[in-house]
Amino acid sequence: MIVRDIMKDQLIVSHKDMTICDALDLMKKHRIRHLPIVNDSNEIIGIVSDRDLRDASPSIFDDQHKQFINLPVSKVMIDDVITAMPRDFVEEAANIMVEQQISCLPVEEDDILVGIITETDLLNTLVKLTGADLPTSRLEIEVSNESGQLSDVSNIIKEHKINIQSVLVYPSFHDPSRKILVFRIQSIDLRPLLKTLKQRNYQIIWPTELEMKT
Amino acid sequence: MRNEAAYIFSPEQLQYKFHNDHPFNQHRLSITNDLLTKVGALSPDSIIPARKASVEELLLIHDEDYVQAVIGATEGQIRSSYKTTYGIGTEDTPVFPFMHDAAAWLVGGTLEAVDQVFENDYKHALNLGGGLHHGFKGKASGFCIYNDSSIAIAYIRKKYDARVLYVDTDAHHGDGVQWAFYNDPDVCTLSFHESGRFLFPGTGHVNERGHGEGYGYSFNIPFEAFTEDESWLEAYKTAMREVVDYFKPDVIITQNGADAHYYDPLTHLCGSMQLFHEIPKMAHELAHEYCHGKWIAVGGGGYDIWRVVPRAWALLWLEMSDQTAVTQQNIPESWLDQWKEESPVQLPNIWTDPKGMYPQIPRQKEIEKKNERTLIKSLKPIYDQKNTIIKKI
């Protein structure tokens, strides 16, 4: 999955001469928190967040400095913008955002601004990756950390003619010798599948009724 | 006094049957009808027959190629690609003889209920054969082929131009209906369900609020697994009142899946029969208060067809037809005798469940707290709007 697949390409941008006041209105209208600043050739020359703009706005209790709100955004924009490229891997982009502690990455191609990704896009991607946006049930199993486990469980799901929408595999947080498999599968009734899994001694974390019996 | 409520049923609705071991079993309609007859709350000659929805009516919601595929499957033309393209021929929704016809009869029941309320001055109408809320416009899902509620809502919009509030209390999220009207500001959907983190279909988050012009007209209250009556009902009563008052519908359609009960084998909620006393009571009250009584109710999920569904759905009709007094009596011996041989479990003889039906839930407090937060989050736009109005005054 690459940045181009998840980026927004309908962009709200501003020129460097827009006033802080207008920029704030624009962001409010479109419910966005980051505004890229571009020049006439659509090259990115800066970025502001709603927080940058509010920091630069006079306090509502301060009648003396009202004129500040009419300064151009170029006065407060960040001009060494960190950007991504359309063919970057999504995980790479996420890594940059974490490392640099930023919540948005403009996307550039041949110096032209072509898109933007934000924390929200990454979260939506996570929801999609975990398959929770389509009609599916969650199945979570703990297995030993050795080869073939995922394949064995998938085979059992296949035996039950159920389509797998997504799979997540990660090491157990409690026990490094164990792995957690989380499936989203296209069936409303998991009982026949659970019966088979139980017969083959799989440790099912969800669905379970155990919680009530402890 | 003329009866204010219409009961819709036809034997053709019983043909919606995948196979003998399938959990979705319309035998529950016969068992419920018999219970209502034996308590004296339903006379067979007062039952209004359903009808079979026309293809044209199905197309109010569904895609033509999908309807053609269902008709084709009925006639034995099934391709392996149907599984992924149309969701038919899967373990959830296998092909069965006359599946198109049976599904169209369920839809027709709900359409008949609509017409009885809008044209024949019944105030309320009930089609227990309906409530197949997972059906998508081009795909079967979760036991549902055609989405009768979506079709009925589109039918109401087109024929009667009324604004519709759809309330879904099935343990599963009412996804098909929500997505069908996600962009529509004249249809508001409100679904109470076990959270998608635990249960099919996985959607129904608080932040699914609608899109475009329809933004703000989709509400979701996802409950934690093992939620009990009190917490469930508090959220239900608060949200119902707030959403009805905010949207001011012309008609309320309720989907009454009976699978939020502890006994239900497919879900993980801990409701008791008390839910099914309270759910229709509030819908009934609000329909009179805001919609001149216009209330259409349908069935839905419900997979304990012996101990839960017949009582829950009988209670719905008793509330709708103002006959709840019969629940002071025990369930008639004649009904127990009729079904005890066939039922694999002991049939209940009263209208409530015993205390201690399930063990104490260790995380109870945490679950209640989480549900309270979910409720507040879900209703936030309504509360915000009220606060703005108060500030302006």
Q: What residue ranges define each of the domains in chain B, with the CATH number in brackets?
A: 5-392 (3.40.800.20)
Q: Which among A76, A105, A126 is the end of a domain?
A: A126
Q: Taking CB atoms and an 8 Å limit, are A188 and B200 in contact across chains? A: yes
Question: Which of B200, B205, B268 is the best substitution to test chain A (most A C-beta atoms within 10 A)?
Answer: B200
A50 and A117 both lie in a single domain: yes
* pLDDT attached to residue B185: 97
A100 and A145 both lie in a single domain: no
Q: Which among A126, A143, A171 is the end of a domain?
A: A126
Question: Min CA distance, A52 vs chain B (Å)?
Answer: 26
A17 and A44 both lie in a single domain: yes
Question: Min CA distance, A62 vs chain B (Å)?
Answer: 23
Pick from B245, B261, B197, B248: nearest CA to B223: B197
A140 and A71 both lie in a single domain: no
A111 and A171 both lie in a single domain: no
* pLDDT attached to residue A213: 40
Interface contact A124, partner B, CB < 8 A: no
Residue carrying the six token digits 């390409």: A9
Q: Taking CB atoms and an 8 Å limit, are A135 and B196 in contact across chains? A: no
Q: Which residues of chain B have pLDDT under 50?
A: 1
Q: Summarize pLDDT for B60-95 with one digit per residue, the tens.
A: 999 999 999 999 987 777 777 888 899 998 889 999
Please give the residue range of the domain that contains residue A92. 3-126
B178 neighbors B191 (Cβ within 8 angstroms): yes
Q: Which residue of B lies nearest to A140 if distances are taken between CA atoms? A: B198
- By annotation, the residues of B acting in catalysis are 134
* pLDDT attached to residue A68: 81
H or E element, residue B375:
helix B364-392
Give chain A's domain count: 2
Reduced 3-state DSSP string for chain A = CEHHHHCECCCCCECCCCEHHHHHHHHHHCCCCEEEEECCCCEEEEEEEHHHHHHHCCCCCCCCCHHHHHCEHHHCCECCCCCECCCCEHHHHHHHHHHHCCCEEEEEECCEEEEEEEHHHHHHHHHHHCCCCCCCEEEEEEEECCCCHHHHHHHHHHHCCCCEEEEEEEECCCCCCEEEEEEEECCCCCHHHHHHHHHCCCEEEECCCHHHHC
- What is the gyration radius of the CA atoms in chain B, in angstroms? 20
Q: Taking CB atoms and an 8 Å limit, are A136 and B226 in contact across chains? A: no
Q: What is the CATH number of the domain that holds A109?
A: 3.10.580.10
Q: What is the CATH number of the domain that holds A182?
A: 3.30.70.260
Q: Nearest by CB to A136, from B84, B200, B358: name it.
A: B200
A15 and A82 both lie in a single domain: yes
Q: Taking CB atoms and an 8 Å limit, are A137 and B202 in contact across chains? A: yes
Query: What pLDDT tens digit does each residue of chain A (214 aa) get?
Result: 999 999 999 999 999 999 999 999 999 999 899 999 999 999 999 999 999 888 888 887 877 777 788 899 999 999 999 999 999 999 999 999 999 999 999 999 999 999 999 998 998 888 888 777 889 999 999 999 999 999 999 999 999 989 999 999 999 999 999 999 999 999 999 999 999 999 999 999 998 864 444 3
A122 and A142 both lie in a single domain: no
Q: Summarize pLDDT for B162-204 with one digit per residue, the tens.
A: 999 999 999 999 999 999 999 999 999 999 999 999 999 999 9
Q: Which among A96, A126, A156 is the end of a domain?
A: A126
Q: Taking CB atoms and an 8 Å limit, are A187 and B362 in contact across chains? A: no
Q: Nearest by CB to A206, from B83, B198, B226: name it.
A: B198
Q: Taking CB atoms and an 8 Å limit, are A161 and B23 in contact across chains? A: no
* pLDDT attached to residue A60: 77
* pLDDT attached to residue B2: 53
Interface contact A134, partner B, CB < 8 A: yes
Q: Which residue of A lies nearest to B80 if distances are taken between CA atoms? A: A161
Q: How far apart are CA B162 and CA B157, in angstroms?
A: 6
* pLDDT attached to residue A208: 80
Q: Which residue of B lies nearest to A189 if distances are taken between CA atoms? A: B266
Q: What is the mean pLDDT of chain B?
A: 95
Q: Which residue of A lies nearest to B134 if distances are taken between CA atoms? A: A135
A106 and A77 both lie in a single domain: yes
Residues whose CB is less than 8 angstroms from the CB of residue B239 and which lie 6 or more positions away in sequence, other chains included = B190, B192, B219, B221, B375, B378, B379
A99 and A143 both lie in a single domain: no
Interface contact A186, partner B, CB < 8 A: yes
A109 and A151 both lie in a single domain: no
SS3 B290: helix
A9 and A109 both lie in a single domain: yes
* pLDDT attached to residue A210: 45
Q: Taking CB atoms and an 8 Å limit, are B91 and A189 in contact across chains? A: yes
In the chain, the amino acid numbered A134 is L
* pLDDT attached to residue A92: 93
A11 and A106 both lie in a single domain: yes
* pLDDT attached to residue B140: 95
